[in-house]
Amino acid sequence: MNPVTVGILGSLLLVFLLFLGMPIAFVMMLVGFLGIGYLASINAALPVIANTVYETASFYPYTIIPLFILMGGFAGNAGITRGLYQTFDKWFRRLPGGLGIATIASCAFFAALSGSSVAASAAMGNIAIPEMRRFKYAPKLAVGAVAAGGTLSFLIPPSLGFVVYGMLTEQSIGKLLISGIIPGILLSLAFIVVIIFQVKMNPALAPATPGEVSFKEKILAFSGVWETLLVFFIVMGGIYLGFINPTEAGAIGATALLIIILLKKRLTLKNFSASLFEASRISVLVLFLVAGANVFSYFLALSTIPMAVSSWMAGLEVSRYVILAIIILIYMMLGCFLDAISMMVLTMPVIFPVVKALGFDPIWFGVVCVMMMEAGLITPPVGLNVYTLAGVVKDVPMQTIFRGAAPFLLSMIAVVILITLFPKIALFLPNMMGR
Amino acid sequence: MKIKHLIRRINYYVCGGGMCLLLPLMLLTTGDVVGRKFFAKTIPGAFEISQYLLVVFILLGAAYTQQVKGHVGVDFMTSRFSPRGRALCEMFTTLLSLFIIAILVWEGWVEGIKERTVSDMLRIPQYPFRLLVSIGGFLLWLELLINLTESAAKLKRRTQ
């Protein structure tokens, strides 16, 4: 059999085992192992997995993953979400759907401290949804706003999505993180527009919240956001100016949040160990996926498929934007079944060489890619954020959450199109960076 | 039954021990940056200690992650199967996972005891950490074995 045939058979086996429900990391290791054994030799294949696991687990830049998760956990423990929500409620009460807007804004600010979107959905679900229901918001709008807002954590740095993308494609993680800032703000604004538009069309969705807020109260409400802004500017400012690398930024961010928790006397053993267990679980999950992806990529490289596909794609007589649109469509479909990180590790070995061969900017593609994965968090039938939210608000059916999130999905696509038309939106900040 | 709970308990505490290393990792890196920026002093070997801490943290957490079904899979198809079909499917994929993790454990050991490298600054030998691939992998293997017995029990209950 020629290598390409072996590669295709291997990929088919991978898909088959995936659908049987085998853990994705183990599937990639298994198929990679069998493929390398066939294409090279069994002696070459045997040590690959053990070595890859060790090399992945001991690679210094990856320490950023547990640190980013820990930041999110500590931010949750510090009670920052509640403070954010109260502040934004005071600031946006006059606007149509004010509490919904406050939800999106709080999610965006929480995202500036947390790398995990599930943490954001869970934290905001517990705070924002009871509040919106108290003021008779339509459940669809309330849960939709939280589900969509939660995905912002995936785009606004610190973001796990960019870290994994950077790991798989060997791009600068610092630049990727910085490149997420402006698209993140843009997407948050787009979400807010979606809410205002919906409420304008149908005011019954969100009755106005009674009670005036004086100017003085609005100024005092700033106390709810300063911690977030401070930590965000230390962490991202440090990376942007080239003072610290992203890993160091993660450590400093987590330490700063721990100090805030201690100062507020909110440290409990239960929350603390829950944050650590969460960091452990997600880091192991991600690093095993990356190790599996590395084994599998090694096999794919032996099969010469990535080269064959990218040279074939580059030779096609169509606009590169057509191929980009196809890639985005593939991501939309995969997003319906796979979680974000798995999607990235499974597709990047083939997609990234294609994107590079087509002459797209790798940092820019990182932003597009992360946004597509973000969309996958709220698309049916499998949307991780929706599942999390369904666990938090037990009396709202899953369909309602998916339906509520749908309008926000459209605004995500709109922002992706905007970034494709004007790549500067994503590339402006990273291009100005210190290094 | 008792052994199963014992293994689960061990894996829980092993992960709990490993995860505590995240705090020294965090403080070490922060201390290194603060020392470098404000006092022009670095902590010698901070880089390599961080690497070793990450290895221990990750490998000791591997089994617990399986315990809480943290190694994600796609259940979109299998959730539509009959309970019997699902149990059969689980058994089949768990057997394959056991096979590949067994190779990880075995080769982790073979490669680990061959390792003679020491770290650059502090000259800490690498082999104990290499061997953790095997040890952490073995705990993960045990966890998968528990899953296999559970799927088999489900299947048995169905056929009876």
Q: Tokens for B101?
A: 């993790």
pLDDT digits (tens, 9 = 90+) for A72-111: 888 888 888 888 988 998 898 888 888 999 999 999 999 9
Residues 6+ apart with CB under 8 A from A373: A154, A161, A331, A335, A340, A341, A343, A344
pLDDT in the model for residue A434: 58
Alpha carbon distance, N-terminus to C-terminus of chain B: 20
Distance CA B5, CA B9 (A): 6
Backbone torsion region of residue B25, taken as left when φ is above 0, otherwise alpha when ψ lies between -120 and 50, otherwise beta: alpha
Q: In terms of Cα–Cα distance, which of A109, A50, A130, A90 is closest to A291?
A: A50
* Closest CA of chain A from B112, distance in Å: 9
Task: Report the b/e string of A276-290 with b at 16+ CB within 10 A.
Answer: bbbbbbbbbbbbbbb
**How far, in Å, CA of A278 to CA of A114, rounded?**
13
Q: Is A269 a residue whose pLDDT tops 60?
A: yes
Q: What confidence category does residue A120 fall into, taking pLDDT thresholds of 50, 70 and 90? A: confident
pLDDT at residue number B54: 95
Mean pLDDT estimate for chain A: 89
What pLDDT score was predicted for residue A343? 87
- B23-77 pLDDT per residue, tens: 999 999 999 988 988 888 888 888 899 999 999 999 999 999 999 888 888 877 8
> What pLDDT score does A48 carry?
93
Local confidence band at B99 (pLDDT 50, 70, 90 cut-offs): very high
Is residue B86 within 8 Å of residue B139, measured between CB atoms? Answer: no
pTM of the model: 0.90
At residue A115, the pLDDT reads: 77
All residues of chain A having their beta carbon less than 8 Å from the beta carbon of residue B59 are 53, 57
Closest to B108 measured CA to CA, from A29, A49, A26? A49
Q: List pLDDT tens digits, range A248-259.
A: 999 999 999 999
Residue numbers in A near B110 (CB within 8 A) = 47, 50
State the ipTM, two decimals. Answer: 0.94
Per residue in A381-410, is it b (16+ CB within 10 Å) or e — as a string? ebbbbbbbbbebbeebeeebbbebbebbbe
Coil, helix or strand for B125?
Answer: strand
Interface test with A, best of B14, B15, B26 (most A CBs within 10 A): B26
**Is residue A435 predicted with pLDDT exceeding 60?**
no
Cα angle for residues A423, A370, A193 (degrees, 5° grid): 70
Output the six-digit token pair for A160: 């796990």
Average pLDDT over residues A349-367: 91
Provide the shortest C-alpha distance from residue B22 to chain A (in Å). Answer: 8
Q: For a pLDDT cut of 70, what percent of chain A falls above it?
A: 100
Note the pLDDT tens digit of each residue in A38-80. 999 999 999 999 999 999 999 998 999 999 989 988 888 888 8
CB-based contact B76 A337, cutoff 8 Å: yes
pLDDT tens digits, A160-190 = 899 999 989 999 999 999 999 999 999 999 9
Tell me the three state secondary structure of residue A15.
helix
Closest-CA residue in chain A for B88? Answer: A20
What is the crossing angle of helices A384-392 and A117-134, to 10°?
50
Of A254, A285, A289, the CB nearest to B26: A254
Q: pLDDT tens digits, residue range B120-159?
A: 888 889 899 999 999 999 999 999 999 999 999 988 886 6
Q: What is the pLDDT of residues A208-245, one digit of tens each?
A: 877 777 888 888 888 888 889 999 999 999 999 888 88
With cut-offs at 50, 70 and 90, classify the pLDDT of residue B1. Answer: low
Q: What are the C-alpha distances in Å from A329 to residues A20, A325, A336, A360, B37?
A: 24, 6, 11, 17, 46
**Residue B121: per-residue pLDDT:** 81
Backbone region of residue B40 per phi and psi (left: phi > 0; alpha: psi in -120 to 50; beta: other values): left
Q: Identify the residue whose tokens are 């309602």.
A: A400
d(CA A64, CA A158): 10
From A17, A63, A281, residue closest to B50, measured CB to CB: A63
* Contacts made by residues A124-129, CB under 8 angstroms, sequence distance 24+: A124/A81, A124/A85, A124/A149, A124/A150, A125/A150, A125/A388, A125/A389, A125/A392, A125/A393, A126/A392, A127/A81, A127/A82, A127/A85, A128/A85, A128/A99, A128/A102, A128/A103, A129/A392, A129/A393
Interface mutation vs chain A, best among B29, B32, B55, B129, most A CBs within 10 Å: B29
Mutation target for B interface from A283, A284, A373: give the one with most B CBs within 10 A. Answer: A284
Distance, in Å, from the CA atom of A120 to the CA atom of A73, rounded to the nearest integer, reads 10
